[in-house]
Amino acid sequence: MPAYEICYLNDDGSLLCTLAAMCSDDLHAKVLAHAMKLSAYKRFEVWRDKSLVYERPQYFGEAAVMPDEINAVPASRPEHSPTQQPFA
């Protein structure tokens, strides 16, 4: 089973909290991200290894209206790592 990291973000894009999980596929990781989301969390990302597989709100193409600081940053893995290793 692949390991996923769900990152909940503040409005300014800074990291609020993370959740590491083992899910059978991307769809289950997306569902878990929505299920664990508190109403105060407006933005989150789901990562598998170094690949962004899902984000909310989802921005489509370059025509999407986004804050400048988000537009300037290419999609890459956040500068943190899970503190716990998956169960063996």
A 10 A CB-CB count for 33 gives 24
What average pLDDT does the chain have?
Answer: 76
8 A C-beta contact, residue 32 and residue 59: no
Contacts (Cβ under 8 Å, ≥6 apart) of 78 = 7, 15, 45, 47
Cut 0.75: pTM above it: no
Extents of the domains making up the chain:
3-71
Nearest by Cα to 4 from 25, 13, 44: 25
Q: What digits encode the pLDDT tens for the residues 20-63?
A: 999 999 999 999 999 988 877 779 999 999 999 999 887 544 44
